[in-house]
Amino acid sequence: MSPVRVALLGCGTVGTALVRLLAEQAEDLTARIGAPIELAGIAVRDLSRPRGDIDPTLFTTDALGLVTRSDVDVVIELVGGVEPVREWLVEALRAGKSVVTANKALLAQDGPALHAAAAEGGADLYYEAAVAGAIPLLRPLRESLHGDTITRVTGIVNGTTNYILSAMDSTGADFADALAQATALGYAEADPTADIEAYDAAAKAAILASLAFHTRVTAADVYREGITAVTAADMASAAEQDCTIKLLCIAERIDGAVSVRVYPAMIPRKHPLAAVGEAYNAVFVEAEAAGELMFFGRGAGGAPTASAVLGDLVAVGRNRLSGMRATAESVYADLRVRPIGEALTRYYVRLDVADRSGVLAAVASIFAAHDVSIATVRQDGQGDDATLVIVTHRATEAALAETVRQLRELSGVRAVASVLRVEGS
């Protein structure tokens, strides 16, 4: 049986785990694919770095040369980032090499170009590892729920921020301390920007929304807010409401359009996503017929990500041997992306107010004037220390923003101390 020959791009944590698994599982993989897998080469930036017991003749710095070599069947890309990876993958796909990638940034920015190249070359493009690491999620969305209509996807898709927010919730730490702890334990990178500013989660949200709603959503379509502004006081406010705060990626279909956004939000403790702690990921899916589904597991790490890559590799290998191809990208729905101002959610608003007659009435009338309906209101304290806590029904972001703007100008309101979105209730 002629082997499936694999070019590996990148040999960091995931790549090293993958090479190890390829060796350890060689027998099972051969049985599952119907042919052995053989490493044809590994492209790295630095040839001088020690690579353990991996055959040194496999390494090259010429990624483009490797992926287009005639003896390569499949390309596994674990380098990440948009450039120069895009060219390597486009050329590989055009040359008929199937690609397995974990590159969410590239997929979220330029997915259509990759899919087009795959169609041109008659090759497969698989990317289970790009969202929620080891959790089998994309294939279920793409295939299992094909006969259903997904209405909403709510996910915790970034382990670093979930670790930080979980620590803030359980210890009362503020953001800076929790980030320092995450960095010390290896959950946050030296430059944590992509995680804490939610660029990573936004890319994943774009991929999830595209698959869930059979339409094209790119990273630029995703409204994004990171977690750097979440305070210990916010977390305490959430706890008072029997909630916690999670960085949520939300993709929903409303009136023939999609809304895709990533932001920290309060979520009730009884919601299945609230219990997702540490660096775990989970994605909650609501579908018309299937109802509520949740997928839970490790979102990152060498071995978990390598597991997802290997699952794709087996699929690609089997397709290759049987002359099949994966089902192509399905974007027939072509839905409009709603701007963030149209997004509908509930809000928690905490105001420091002067406790004098008429303030509550003035506050309530500002909410009413913008059609932001109040669900609950609670006033604590007296005199200049009074606090007004308001939770609204669903309203648009635009209406809430204008409400908050006017509240800031109201004479009885000393400060808008906290504004948090409330999801999942």
Which are the contacts of 304, defined by CB distance < 8 A and separation ≥ 6? Answer: 133, 134, 297, 298
Residue 233 found at the interface with a copy of itself (CB under 8 A): no
Runs of H (alpha helix) within 241-391: 302-322, 359-369
309 binds a copy of itself (CB under 8 A): yes
Cα–Cα distance measured from residue 247 to residue 230, given in angstroms and rounded to the nearest whole number: 10
In angstroms, the first-to-last Cα distance of the chain is 55
Q: Does 324 bind a copy of itself (CB under 8 A)?
A: yes
Q: How far is the CB of 204 from a copy of itself (least distance, A)?
A: 17
Residue 194 or 310 with smaller CB distance to a copy of itself: 310
Q: Are 131 and 137 in contact (CB under 8 A)?
A: yes
Provide, rounded to whole angstroms, the least separation between the CB of residue 323 and a copy of itself: 9
**Closest Cα partner for 69 from 47, 44, 96?**
96
Indicate which single residue of 248, 308, 388, 391 sits in contact with a copy of itself (rule: CB under 8 A): 308
> What is the C-alpha to C-alpha distance for residues 158 and 203, in angstroms, rounded to an integer?
11
Decide if 251 contacts 258 (C-beta within 8 A). Answer: yes
Interface residue with a copy of itself among 95, 257, 303, 377 (CB under 8 A) is 303
By annotation, the residues acting in catalysis are 204
Q: Which of 318, 308, 298, 301 lies closest to 29 in space, CA to CA?
A: 318
> Restricting to residues 138-177, which ones interact with a copy of itself according to CB under 8 A?
139-140, 143-149
Q: Give the containing element (helix H, strand E) for 112.
A: helix 104-121
Rounded to whole angstroms, the Cα distance separating 171 from 173 reads 5
Question: Cβ closer to a copy of itself: 123 or 196?
Answer: 123
Q: Does 21 bind a copy of itself (CB under 8 A)?
A: yes
Q: For a copy of itself, give the closer residue by CB, 26 or 233.
A: 26
Residues in 87-146 at the binding interface with a copy of itself, rule: CB under 8 A: 128, 134-136, 139-140, 143-146
Q: Which amino acid is at 172?
A: G
User: Which one of the spans 26-34, 87-95, 257-265, 378-386 is the region binding a copy of itself (CB under 8 A)?
Assistant: 26-34
By CB under 8 A, what part of segment 236-275 binds a copy of itself? 272, 275
Query: With binding defined as CB under 8 A, does residue 335 bind a copy of itself?
Result: no
Q: Are 260 and 152 in contact (CB under 8 A)?
A: no
Pairing outcome for strands 280-287 and 150-156: antiparallel
> Taking the complex as a whole, how short is the minimal distance between the CB of residue 143 and a copy of itself, in angstroms?
6
User: Minimum CB separation from a copy of itself for residue 1, in Å?
Assistant: 14
From CA 366, how far away is CA 360, in angstroms rounded?
10
Q: Where do contacts with a copy of itself occur on this chain (CB under 8 A)?
A: 17, 21, 25, 28-29, 31-32, 128, 134-136, 139-140, 143-149, 214, 272, 275, 287-298, 301, 303-304, 306-315, 318, 322, 324-325, 327, 330, 332-333
